[in-house]
Amino acid sequence: MSTASGRDLAGLLGPGASATEEFGEQTVDVPPDRWLEALAGARDALGLTFFDWLSAVDELDVGLRVVCHLAAPDATRRVLVRTLLTGAEPRLMSATGLFRGAEWHERETAEMFGVTFEGSTRAGPLLVSGVPGHPMRKDAPLVRRDAQAWPGRTDPSQSRREAPA
């Protein structure tokens, strides 16, 4: 078993990339322009050839963090590659050239978080259509919360009856 780690990957990528380990989880942070380089490095140098998932986290003022989880096919090692996108229209290079299966995840992330993946082979909404905005952004209004009354507002004590004899 190879012992290559996120630290090795960060070393491979040089300045700008950093690796941390928390609770046994390897995380590598890279600048957006090194994104594909980092994923390719994890795949080829570390042997993490299994593309598990890709998504994003809305970190409000900090920006939008895109996260990708890659693993070894025997599930012994894995690494979380992250990058931080800032600005009103976040863009990132598509990983579909490296992992064909990234397309589904990128389309979902594009739809839910409003990230444009450049060079993606297919675009367009995946899960919902005709919904304005990006539902997973933290500034997206939760319309249902306004339209629906909280079910916990009622209490049995509000209605009292005589017990049947």
Spatial separation of the C-alpha atoms in residues 90 and 104, rounded to whole Å: 18
Residue number with CB closer to another protein (129 or 148): 148
In 23-137, DSSP assigns E strands to: 25-30, 50-58, 64-71, 78-85, 91-93, 116-118
Closest C-alpha among 59, 76, 56 to residue 68: 56
Q: Are 107 and 123 in contact (CB under 8 A)?
A: yes
User: What token pair was written down for 82?
Assistant: 């992250």
Spatial separation of the C-alpha atoms in residues 85 and 108, rounded to whole Å: 17
* Rounded least distance, CB 140 to another protein, Å: 16
Residue number with CB closer to another protein (138 or 161): 161
Spatial separation of the C-alpha atoms in residues 129 and 89, rounded to whole Å: 20
Q: Are 111 and 134 in contact (CB under 8 A)?
A: yes
Residue number with CB closer to another protein (141 or 151): 151
* Rounded least distance, CB 156 to another protein, Å: 4
- Binding interface with another protein (CB under 8 A): 148, 150-152, 154-157, 159-164
* Rounded least distance, CB 162 to another protein, Å: 6
Residue number with CB closer to another protein (61 or 162): 162
* Rounded least distance, CB 36 to another protein, Å: 33
Residue number with CB closer to another protein (36 or 57): 57
* Rounded least distance, CB 108 to another protein, Å: 17
